[in-house]
Structure formats: C-alpha cells, structure tokens
Chains A and B, each alone.
Chain A
Amino acid sequence: MGNTSSLLLREDEIAQIQEKTGFTPNQIERLYSRFTSLDRGNCGTLSREDLLRIPELAINPLGDRIVHAFFQEGTGDSINFLQFMQVLAHFRPIKKNKDLKLNSREQKLKFAFKMYDLDSDGKISRDELLAILQMMVGSNISEEQLTSIAERTIFEADQDGDQMISFAEFCNALERTDVEQKMSIRFLN
C-alpha cells in the first residue's frame, strides 16, 4: 500500500486508507498530492528531512517534535502514505455519526501528550516540560523563571504526587479545554 511510487493511488488503496483513517477519497487524493510533493526522493516514503524541508516547519519552535511525532508510530526513518495519513487522521474534526478511533478527543490529547513525553514513559517529567517551555518561550526568560513555571505547572496538575504529569492527569488538566476544536483541522474537501 505505502510502496506506491506511482502518482495515482489505486482504488483499493484509497478504500483501505479511507477505512483506516476516515478521510474521504477526495481528501485522500489531495493529501496524496501533498505527500508526493513533499517526497523529494520520489520513493513513496517521507523522511524526516523531507518534512523538515518545509520552511515554516523548520522555524516552528516545535518543528522537530512535530516531525518526530510522525515517526513514532511507524518504524524506521521513513513513513509511507498510510502512516502519514494515520497521523493526520488525529486532526480530523470530530463528526457525530461516523466517529473513528483516531480522531477522538483522547487520541488528540495523546498526540499532544507525546509532544512532551520524549522518553515515552507515559509521564511528563519536569525536565521534559521545561524543554518544551524553552522551545516555545525562547531565551529571553531566565531559566529560573521557566523552571518555576514548569514546577508550578506540574504541581498544579499532579494528583498522585509523583512530580510528574501522567496522561490521566494531563487529560484532567485540560478537562475544560475544547480540545476537539483546538486540535482539529478543517481538511479541504
């Protein structure tokens, strides 16, 4: 499926992707053209470099992490189109009737959580949070301040007292946030 290097997707591939991700064939076609335009090597897969070549992503403070997120599910240094689509499927808006697993609120939160959780131990430690803060805030704020902010944040969310934010605690902290809205992209139809 992912090994297609042809410009057009076959019907059965589209059907398969549609089944797994919930995208409409139209969307799949569009995203596939984007995929192939990103795929400089024309090898049917995307590497990290391919993604990081996007100029805006390169200056995104979290660009590395975002790219990294694409490669968490697949193995190795490249992802094929299905894997690409599976990551993107997290950001489909939630529709009432046909709800797939990938774009549920929990999955969206999980995606955000993984941004922090570098060592994938299921918990955000102080240092992991601090690293993200440093990326986002930049260098103008002293490290002490950031540290205290990070600690304050963990202290706020920490319920079991382990000085880490587990995924459950993370979800709790964002209970009132409209994650469904915030982490959805209106894909072109």
Chain B
Amino acid sequence: MCAVHAARPASTDFGGAAIDGNGGERTEKANGNRGRGGRVIERERNIWLRLIHSARRSTLDWHSPSDRCDVRTSATGTRGNDLPALRTKPRPAPPSGLARFMHCIRVHQSASSTEEPAGGSHKKDHDRYPVFSVEFARVETPFIIGLWIFCASLAKIGFHMTPKLSKMFPESCLLIVVGVVIGVLLFHTSSGVQVSPLTPDTFFLYLLPPIILDAGYFMPNRLFFDHLGTILLFAVVGTIFNAIAIGTSLWAVGQSGLFEFDTPILDMMLFGSLVSAVDPVAVLAVFEEIHVNEILYIVVFGESLLNDAVTVVLYHMFEAYSEMGPANILPVDVASGIASFFVVALGGTVIGVIWGFLTGFVTRFTHQVRVIEPIFIFVMAYLAYLNAEIFHMSGILAITFCGITMKNYVEANISHKSHTTVKYAMKMLSSSCETVIFMFLGVATVNNAHSWNTWFVLLTVLFCTVYRFIGVMILASLANKFRLHQLNGVEKFVMSYGGLRGAVAFALVLLIDKNIVNLQPHFVTTTIAVIYFTVFFQGITIKPLVRILNVKRAEKRKPTMNERIHEKLMDHIMAGLEDVLGRHGNYHVRDRFKRFDTKYIRPWLIRDNKGAEPKILETYSKLTMKEAMEYMRRNASTIAAFPGTESMSTLFRNCTQTNMDASFSFTQLDSSVQNLDMQELEYNPSKKDLTDAKIHHLLSEELCKPRRHRRLSYSRHAVNDRDLSTQEVNYKMHMNMRHIISGKHHHKRSKKLNKEGKPHVSFPGITQNGSVKQFTHDYINEMLEESDSNDVDEARPSTSGLNDGPEGGIVFTAKSTPTNTDEAVVHTEDPHPKDPGKRSSRADSEEEAVHVTPTATETVLPWKRDDEAEQCTFPLKQQEFPGWCSNKEYLAYNSPSSTFLGGLDQPKVASVIGLFRRESTVDQEMARADAAILVIEECPASPVPSAVVCGTPPAPPKRPSSARRGSLLELGASVDPIPEEEAGTPESSANKSPPWAQRRRRKQGACSSSYEDFRSNEVGLLVTCGGPVGRVGGCVVGRGGAALSARAASSESELARDRVSRSVSASAATGNKKRRCRSSSSDAAAAASDRDKETQIGEEQDAGGQRGCHASAQWGSS
C-alpha cells in the first residue's frame, strides 16, 4: 500500500499537499484546511493557489518534483506577502506556467522588499523600519504541525490525569474523540471545504515509520522467531482469506440490490483487501494496555506487522485490475500478482536486513562521536523504509526487519547513554506519532464528503468481524498441529477480537482514485465506520473480556542470572536433542544461526566482540547495576539507624578536604601531615565488626550526596561533558597529575635507591597514617608477633639468605622467573614493628632502577602475570606474609583518609588505560607510578604489597589468572577444605620448584587482594578526577567511597581468610563471617562498579561497562 505514494513525488506538506497528484479538487480542499491558523488570509490564499493551479494545468512543463517543491515553498512562503500584489496587479496569464511561476517569485521578492507584511493590519511608511511586524504565513506549516503535536500530547496528558477515564477507555479511543471534537470545531468555524490533515503521504512517510521502527527495534526477537510460523500463517493466509471472503460476500450481497448501487466484484475485492488488514498501530495501542501474555501478543502484533506485504500486493493488484477492467484480466496477471507478493515481501525483508547490518557496521565506528550515534539508527532505518518504498516493496517489513536486525549489533556498539537516548527518542516518536494518527483520524471523520449507506456499512462491519473469527479459528487449529504451545479457545478468541483496523486502512482508502472506483466515498465512510467499530467497541470491551476470560497475563520482569544461564543451557540441550533425533526444528535453526552469527557476523559488526552468549554478560551487568542502585537506595534510608553517623561523616569530609590540600601540594611529606585516619578515632578491635558496618554504611551514604550535588552543578553540560570533551580534559588532567606525581616518585625512588637500606624513606604522609596508627596499636602488634612466629617459621625453611628473622622485620626477595630479563629484588625491612615509618626497599637490577620497578600493574593484574603462576591453581597459604599483613592492610584501606589519598595519588595510575584495556601494554612510567603507590607508599610496613614487586616481564603475556582462581577458591569454598589445602599445597609445590619460585607463587596468591585494592583505588581515583580539581575535596569522599568500602570489605575477607589459616578450630565462626563479608563486599563492589560506570560514561563507555562489571566481579568474589 505504501508503495503507492512513492510513485508520486512526495508532497511534504503536513497540512495537506499544496499540489497533489490527485488533481485539483482535493488539493484545494487540503489547502482550505490549512489556513486554520490564520483565517484572515485563508480565502485569499485559496484564490492565489487556484491561480497557481490553473497555471499548472495550462502547462505541465515544470512538472518535475523539484519544481513542485519550489512552487509549494512559494505557496507557503509568499502567500501572505504577494497576495496584495497579485490582486492589485492582475495580469494576463503568462505564456507558460514556469514563466508565471518565476513571475510570482519576482513579485514576491519585490513585494517583500517594498511592502510591509500583509498579515499586519497597521500601515507604515515604506522607508521606516518596522518595530513590530506579523508574518504568520512564513511559519504556518511548521507552526501548525507543532500545534497539532502539542494538542495531541496535551490531550494525552489530560487522559492520564483522569485515571477513571483512561482506565475505562483505551487511549486510542479518547484521542479519536478529541480529534472529532477538534474536527467539528474546525468544520464549523472555517468556511468552505474541510479535508483531513491526514493525507496518505503524511501517514505513510512520516507518521507510520517511527511506530513500526519502534515495534521492530524493541521486538522480542526470540519470541518473534519462535512463533514466526504461526504469525506468517495468520498474516498471509489469514489476510488473503479475509480479503477475498469480505470482498466476495459484499459483492454477493450487492447482487441482491440491497445497497442500491453497483458493486463490481473488483471494487469489492479492493475494498475487502484494504479493510481486512489488521492494523499495527491500533493493535499496539490496545494490546499495550491489556498486557496479555507474550505469545498472544506476539502472534497478533506480528500478524499486523507482516500482513503489510499481503495488503500492499492485494491492494495494488485489485487496483490495477479494476483499472484494467474485469474483461482484460489475463491469467498471467493473476500469476504475476502472486509472484509480486513474494517480491514485495522478500524484497522488503531483504532491504531491511541489509540496512540493519549496515547500521551495525556503521555504529562500529562511532565511538569517537558518541553524540551522533542515535541518529544513525533512526536515519538508516528510515532510509530502509524509503528504500523499500522506492522499489514498491513493503516498507513496513523493511523497517521492521531493519530494527530486528540492527538491534543486537547496535546495542553492543553504542554507549549506554546512546542506548538510553535511542530508547526514549524512539518511544517518544512512536508515541507521539500514534497520538497524532488517532487524532487525525478523528479530525478526518468530520467532513461533508461522506456518503453513508447503512446496509453497506453494517454488512461490512459484520463480515469483518465474522470472517476474522472464522479465519482465526480455522488457522489456529491448523497452527496447533505444528505448535508446541497449543492456542486454546480463549486465546483464539482474543486473537480474533484483537484484530483491530486502523489508520493504514484509512490511508489506503484515501488513495483510491475516485475516477476509477466510483464507490470511493462509500469506501471511505465505511472504512471509518469499521475503524470506529473495532477501535471503540472491541478496544473498549477487550479489556474487561480479557479479565473475565482470565487470559494469562504477561509478567514484566527482567530475567535473573539463573534464568538466563539455565535457559541458555536448555536451548543447547534442546538443540542437541533435536540433532540426536535428526529433526531440524526451531532450536536447531537457531543454534545454527547463532553459530554463524558468532563466527562471521559479529566480528564484523561489533567493535568489542565479547564472544558467544553476550546476553549472559548483559544480564549480569544489568543485574549488578540494579543491585548497586538498590543498595544505594537502601543504605541511604537506613543511615538514620546509625547514631553518630552525622558527626562521623562531617569529620570524614573535613579530614579528607584537609588531606586533599596537603596532598595536592606534595611538598609535605609524612611528618607534617597529621594523622587523619578515621580508624584512629573509632577503632576498637573488639568491636571491629561494628565499626566496619558503620563505616561501610557511612560510605555508601556518602556516595549519594556529593553526587547529587555534582549533578546539579553540572547538569547543564552533562551531556557534553561526558560524551565529548570532558573525558579528554580529564584525561589530560590525569596525565598531568601523573606526570607530576610520577616525577615525584621517580625522584623519591632514586633517592631511596641511593640510600639503600636506610629505613626512612619519606612518602606522602597521608598514606602512612593508617599504618602508623595500626602499628601502634597493641592488638596489631600482638597479631604481628604471633603470626610472625607462626608463619614465617613455617614458611622460611627453604628460603635461604633472605630472612633476618621475624624480629628483624621481614626481608624477602622477589625474583623474576628465569625467563625474565629483569630481575627485581626488593627488601623491605622492618626492624621494629612498632615503628612503621621505617622501612626500606631496595631494588637490584641489572639495568637501571626504573626497570626494577615492579610495574605493579603487570604483576598485580592477574592476567599479566607470567606463566609461572599458572602452576598454582590451588589455594596458597601466605606463609611469609603473616596474618597481620592483611589485617594491617585492611586497616589501612579501611581508613578513609589513606585510601582516599591513595586514590588521589593514583591519577597517574593507568586509570583510563590500564584498568580497562588489558591488552595495552603498560608503559614504564605508569608502572613506576603504580609501584610507587602500591608497593612502597601504601603499605610501607607491610610485605604484602611488596609482594607485588616482582619481576617484570617486558611484554607480559596476556592470559587469565589461575593464581587468582586459587585464592578465590580458597575464599569461596566452604570453610573446611581450606586448612587442608593450605597445609597441603605449599609442601607439594616446594618439592617441585625452587624456593623463590614457590615464594613467588605464594605472593601471587597474595597479590589478589592487593590487586583488588589496586582496582578499587583506581576506581576511586577515576571518580576523583572526574570533576574539576577544585571540587575534588567535596566530591571525592563520596565518590571514592564505593571504592573504599569495596576495599574495606575485601580486605576484611582477607583478614578472615588469614584467621582461618591460623586456627582451624575457629573455622566455623570465621566461615560465617566470611560469608557475611562476601555479601557486603559484593554489594560494595557493585556500588563501586556502578559509580565507575557513571563516571566513565564518555569515551570509555563500552570498555568501562564491561570491565567495570569485570572489576566489580573481582571485588565481589573476594
């Protein structure tokens, strides 16, 4: 049907085509309608336009579309101005229309230059500049369009403000009523002919595509293709059956002379074909409100979409036949009609699919220009529609399949924000188009061109309903033979009842040429009647009926992780079973396609291909996101339950601000900065859990407020900031800071290297504070001594020449694997555990000190560790790192100040690059910075982070971490196996490998915790640097908080693990505790990742999303 208009040049006028192919009469009517905004000039304009028309009819030499377009613009643009000119200077008709047209333009120009606007009633001198002037004509068309949309949307708001009304009636009904009211008003206020603004071109070219695109793009693919067979059966066979049955029945009744006019069979068939098609717009409007179960929905809705091809073909066929006349139809015409069905349907589908793939391909490259991402989706889908119309294919099929095809690929490519934009823009467009369509439908009803024939109308309505029911019943029982899910009686009923007719039929009936089909006015009236009957009667009653019949309702929900995974598993099982049975059913086909898709299509169309089953990942990240949100909300509300939180938070913020200043200057070293550790204020080992909980909740609360603040202050530029420029700016800022800081560290580092062995190496003091505090604490000392004696003795026997004994602090050497060119030896001496400020690290290397530097990223990030670590897939006990290490670490990280500043320090860490791009090799500078932070500063007195200082493979191989798994296993498994494993593994590994290697491995096991800390630090600092430096003080606390809490939780679980390793007897209790830690840590991690995502949304978006959840998984798992 749509193809009809494509044949004609588009007359793009909303308020009615100025010059339409249909001939003068209708066009003039349309123009009459247009002037409702400026009624003053309406009649004048009509006169003027008639002049134009007469000119056009006289000569048709400027009949090309572009010329028409020009004429139209002149019609809209000049009508106000040059009307006086035309009136005052009546001329004989120019020899040709074109010349006359040129003349009009000239007149217009002269008029506009010399005369004041005609719309104004006031007169001024020619040479005076007007202070105020009115020119409605120039903006008339867009203004009226805007006005229509505005009114329609306003009406929509109105319905939703009257809940009773919108509960009883579907929106479509109410909109039609409003349209009728407006139509009546217009009809009575305006003189002359009144024609609806709903021209077929307007409908098919502008109003319909957004709705269909929305339907296709958000089509549940799986469901659609599962039921494709049934849908096609209904769409093709059902529609043909309906068309022919209605047509012949009307013809048969017409033979009896009941209608009092001639009913040629072909005209009746034409009418039957256009009135039989179920309308997607009407179906959508009603079915979205009644929420029937998804199978029912997809069958009815899918039918309404796919029957477009049938309708197009039938309509064209019968139109052509009636033009030819029954006598001239040859069998070959019928055959070509049938063939054209396949061409139209398959052609439209193919065009749509091709454009869909193209869209996916284009969005693959849009990551630099995120803002224009959504436009590709809209424009290319629209192009697909128009492209199909060019070739007289089914545009609806094209745009539907374009949406279906592009969705999966586009969603993987575009950023999260673009996704939101697309979603909302699409919904908005389709919803307003739908509104406008129904409203126009109402307006179109009111005209004086109706020719009512009661019998004809009644019988048409009756036949439509009856044949719909008959068709559905027959076809449904036919389909049931091939369906797993049987359509029961109630469903059949709803399917037949849901066969609503709508604007498509109306637009089609308007297209019928009155000169060929004499009954066109009757058809128009009857079509309107049928539409009203279905939309009003069926639309209103379907809701209660669905309730009475107890139709299974749809439940809107997101799949849980379990459902997603298990359902995928079931798919595979079923595909496998179909193979066993040798039956190639749905599952088999889908399996095939998926394999093909994963292997060949996705790599081409998706930038960051994630391999098979992207849905699992998607679900995971969505759930994580959601949980984080909920977590935040929950904690924001429970904050009142914690007494003293306010003071804590105030204190916290103040402290952090102070620290910020100090840390920014970087001239201050450890001595000058006061100890701002929060733990110091409140720390009580016996009440550890309580404190943890408090801080944890406090931090999560803190996460909210500064953020809100930031939103407000940046709301205006939010989009630009994130999508375009700020990321770069931030990145530059990162780089700057990194340069500053890494320069600093480099300096320090060399100093340290020079004074090898000297215990006092100064670092920015803030990070120290936590450890200072911790070490002065008796509890820790106790722990330290205890674990020293326990663990070190046990661990050391084979490591020769490296230890100075437990009392002399821990000295250890980390060597790289033999394959490494670099060899790093780091001594960390802690002669007096009570003096944590004293430490030294020495790095020996064959090359310069720079290379010794651990490149912590590489050693810490699990996938960057070298091959050696692969051997230890089992849990490792951290023997050389006594229990207090993690304990201390925990305290250090739990201390907001130190963490925060650690975070602050870390802009130089490869926050943007390193975290999310694991493939990228980390350059030495970053590595240096990392090392400085992680190893030396953050846990000065603790060997644990020093473990990070391992050999640096110049180009670390990329592979998953197995050591990490080991530690995870240890954490994740139930309590009992742990001690055994821990007891067992070191010995066995000791037998196999040299001591240093063994140690190294253990370190790597231990690294996992540091790794997490590292990660959380990064997040913290990423967030930190998201805002301008000036705000950092205020905002960072909150935003870094997630990282903090995640870290706190993770180190807590670390602590728990160490406890387990020390005392088997306490295993049960600790196990419980671990579990608790775990859950809280995963919560926090989720929060952190959310934060992470939010801040990164710009250029790092995709990577950020993925890796973000990856990172959160890291935290969560421990």
Of the A-B pairs whose beta carbons lie under 8 Å apart in the complex, a sample of 12, sorted by A's number, is A37-B582, A111-B573, A112-B570, A129-B565, A136-B612, A137-B613, A140-B609, A148-B1117, A156-B561, A163-B974, A165-B562, A182-B574
Selected from A59, A137, A153, A179, the residue in CB contact (under 8 A) with B561 is A153
* Distance of A148 Cα from B570 Cα, bound (Å): 21
Q: Tell me the complex Cα distance, A59–B612, Å.
A: 14
A56 at interface by CB-CB < 8 Å: yes
- Complex CA–CA separation, A63 to B616 (angstroms): 20
Those of A58-75 within 8 Å (CB) of chain B = 59-63, 66, 70
Q: Does B992 have its Cβ within 8 Å of any Cβ on chain A?
A: no
Q: List the one stretch of A5-13, A14-22, A97-105, A169-177 in contact with chain B.
A: A169-177
Q: Which residues of A contact B565 (CB under 8 A)?
A: 129, 132-133, 136, 149, 153
Q: Is the CB of B572 within 8 A of A62?
A: yes
Cβ of B38 within 8 Å of any chain A Cβ, yes or no, is no
CB distance from A96 to the nearest CB of B (A): 10
- Measured in the bound complex, the distance between the Cα atoms of B865 and A143 in whole Å is 14
Q: Which residue of B lies closest to A153 (CB)?
A: B561
Most buried by B among A38, A54, A145, A183: A145
Q: A60-B591, A145-B617, A148-B1112 are in contact. Are A163 and B567 (CB under 8 A)?
A: no
B563 interface contact, C-beta 8 A? yes
Asked if A167 lies at the interface with its beta carbon under 8 angstroms from chain B, I say: no
Q: Is there an interface contact between A144 and B972, defined as CB atoms closer than 8 Å?
A: no
Q: A143-B960, A149-B1113 given as contacts; is B482 within 8 A of A186 (CB)?
A: yes
Given the interface pairs A126-B972, A137-B612, A153-B561, the reply to whether A59 lies near B578 with Cβ below 8 Å is no
For the A-B complex, the count of residue pairs with Cβ-Cβ distances under 8 Å equals 185
Is the CB–CB distance between A144 and B610 below 8 Å?
A: no
Residue among A66, A111, A116, A187 with the highest chain B CB neighbour number at 10 A? A66
Classify chain A: how many residues form its interface, as a range: 35 or more
Interface string of A115-149 (1 = CB under 8 A from B): 11000000000100100110011111111110111
CA distance A68 to B712 in the complex (A): 59
- The proximity string for B residues 570-604 relative to A, scoring 1 for CB distances below 8 Å and 0 otherwise, is 11111111111111010010011001001000000
At the interface, yes or no: B483 with Cβ under 8 Å from chain A? yes
Kindly report which residue of chain B lies nearest to residue A135, judged by CB atoms: B572
A185→B581 contact, CB < 8 A: yes
Which residues does chain B contribute within 8 Å of A116, judged by CB atoms? 569
Contact A115 B1114 (CB under 8 A): no
Q: Is A162 in contact with B974, judged by CB distance below 8 angstroms? A: yes
Cβ-defined contact, A143 with B965, below 8 A: yes
Give B627's nearest chain A residue, CB to CB.
A152
The answer, yes or no, to whether B624 is at the interface (CB within 8 Å) is yes
Smallest CB gap from B623: residue in A: A152
The answer, among B555, B571, B583, B961, for a CB contact under 8 Å with A144, is: B961
A: residues with CB less than 8 A from B are: 31, 34, 37-38, 51, 54, 56-57, 59-63, 66, 70, 88, 91, 93, 111-112, 115-116, 126, 129, 132-133, 136-145, 147-149, 151-153, 155-157, 161-163, 165, 170, 173-174, 176-177, 179, 181-188
Chain B positions within 8 Å of A143 at CB level: 960-961, 965
CB pair A147–B1113 under 8 Å, yes or no, is yes
Q: Helix, strand, loop or mixed for chain B's interface?
A: helix
With A174-B563, A188-B583 in contact, is A88–B577 under 8 Å at CB?
yes
A51 touching B580 by the CB < 8 A rule?
yes
Q: Is B776 an interface residue when CB atoms closer than 8 A count as contact? A: no
Most buried by B among A88, A116, A143: A143
Q: How far is the CB of B785 from chain A (nearest CB, A)?
A: 34
Supplied contacts A62-B569, A136-B616, A151-B1116, 15 more A-B pairs, CB within 8 Å: A37-B582, A62-B576, A91-B574, A115-B569, A137-B613, A140-B611, A143-B961, A147-B1113, A149-B565, A151-B1117, A163-B973, A176-B555, A176-B557, A181-B484, A185-B585
CA distance A138 to B598 in the complex (A): 10
A152 to chain B: closest CB distance in Å? 6
Q: Is the CB–CB distance between A144 and B1113 below 8 Å?
A: yes
Closest residue of chain A to B1075, judged by CB?
Answer: A161
- The answer to the question of B197 belonging to the interface, with a C-beta cut-off of 8 Å to chain A, is no
Chain A residues within 8 Å of B623, by CB = 152
Beta-carbon contact of B965 and A147 below 8 Å? yes
Q: Which of A38, A51, A144, A176 has the largest count of B CB atoms less than 10 A from its CB?
A: A144
For B960, the chain A residues whose CB sits under 8 A away are: 142-144
Nearest opposing residue in chain A for B613, CB measure: A137
* Chain A residues within an 8 Å CB radius of B1075: 161
In the complex, what distance in Å separates the CA atom of A186 from the CA atom of B582?
A: 13
Contact indicator B483/A66 (Cβ below 8 Å): no
Whole-angstrom CA separation of A163 from B974 in the bound complex: 7
- A188: nearest chain-B partner, CB-CB: B583
**Residues of A with C-beta under 8 A to B485:** 181
CB pair A138 B561 closer than 8 Å: no
Chain B residues near A66: list those with CB within 8 A.
572-573, 576-577, 580
B863 adjacent to chain A (CB < 8 Å): yes
Q: B561 to A112, Cβ gap below 8 A? A: no
CB contacts (< 8 Å) of A145 on chain B: these are 617, 1109-1110, 1113
Chain A residues, CB < 8 A from B1001: none
Per-residue 0/1 for B971-1000: is the Cβ within 8 Å of any A Cβ (1 yes, 0 no)? 011100000000000000000000000000
The answer to whether the Cβ of B1079 comes within 8 Å of any Cβ in the partner chain is: yes
Given contacts A60-B572, A140-B611, contact A34 B581 (CB under 8 A): yes
Chain B residues with CB below 8 A from A133, complex form: 565, 616
Given known A-B contacts A112-B569, A162-B974, A163-B972, A142 and B1110 have beta carbons under 8 A apart: yes
List CB contacts (< 8 Å) of B1069-1118 with chain A.
1075, 1079, 1082, 1109-1110, 1112-1114, 1116-1117
Question: CB-CB < 8 A to A179: which residues of B?
Answer: 570
* Contacts A57-B579, A149-B617, A162-B974; A182 near B1116 (Cβ below 8 A): no
Contact B561 A152 (CB under 8 A): yes
Q: Which residues of B contact A161 (CB under 8 A)?
A: 1075
Chain B residue at smallest Cβ distance from A186: B484
In contact, A152 and B620 (Cβ under 8 angstroms): yes
Report the bound CA distance from A96 to B957 in whole Å. Answer: 59
Query: Which residues, 947 to 978 on B, are CB-close (under 8 Å) to A?
Result: 960-961, 964-965, 968, 972-974
Chain B residues with CB under 8 Å of A56's CB are 575-576, 579, 588, 591-592
> Would you list which residues of chain B between 686 and 700 have a CB under 8 Å from chain A?
none
Of B585, B965, B1113, most buried by chain A (CB within 10 Å of CB) is B1113
Q: Which residues of B contact A139 (CB under 8 A)?
A: 611
B562 touches A183 (CB 8 A): no
> Using an 8 Å CB-CB cutoff, how does the interface string of B935-949 with A read, 1 for contact, 0 for none?
000000000000000
Residues of A within 8 A of B555 (CB): 176
Tell me if B612 and A144 are in contact (CB < 8 A): no
Residues of A within 8 A of B973 (CB): 163
A155 to B624, CA, bound (A): 12
Does any Cβ of A come within 8 Å of B514's Cβ? no
A164 to B: closest C-beta gap in Å: 9
> What 4 pairs across the A-B complex have the smallest Cβ distances?
A148-B1113, A140-B611, A173-B562, A143-B960
Asked whether A136 lies within 8 Å of B568 as measured between CB atoms, the reply is yes
Among A91, A132, A153, the most chain B Cβ lie within 10 Å of the Cβ of A153
Q: Scan B400-440; emit 1 where CB is below 8 A from any A CB, else 0.
A: 00000000000000000000000000000000000000000
Distance to closest chain B CB from A24 (angstroms) = 15
Chain B residues whose CB sits within 8 angstroms of the CB of A186 once the complex forms: 482-484, 585
Question: B609, A136: Cβ atoms under 8 Å?
Answer: no
Asked whether B1117 lies within 8 Å of A138 as measured between CB atoms, the reply is no
CA distance A95 to B571 in the complex (A): 21
Asked if B580 contacts A57 (CB within 8 A), the reply is yes
Closest approach, in angstroms, between the C-beta of A78 and any C-beta of chain B?
15
- Residue in chain A with minimal CB distance to B863: A142
A95 to B769, CA, bound (A): 71
Nearest to A165 among chain B residues (CB) is: B562
Q: How far is the CA of A57 from the CA of B567 in the complex (A)?
A: 18
Q: Which residues of chain A are near B616, meaning CB under 8 Å?
A: 133, 136-137, 149
Q: A183-B574, A185-B577 are in contact. Are A174 and B585 (CB under 8 A)?
A: no
Given A57-B579, A143-B961, A161-B1075, answer yes or no on A112-B613 (Cβ-Cβ < 8 Å). Answer: no
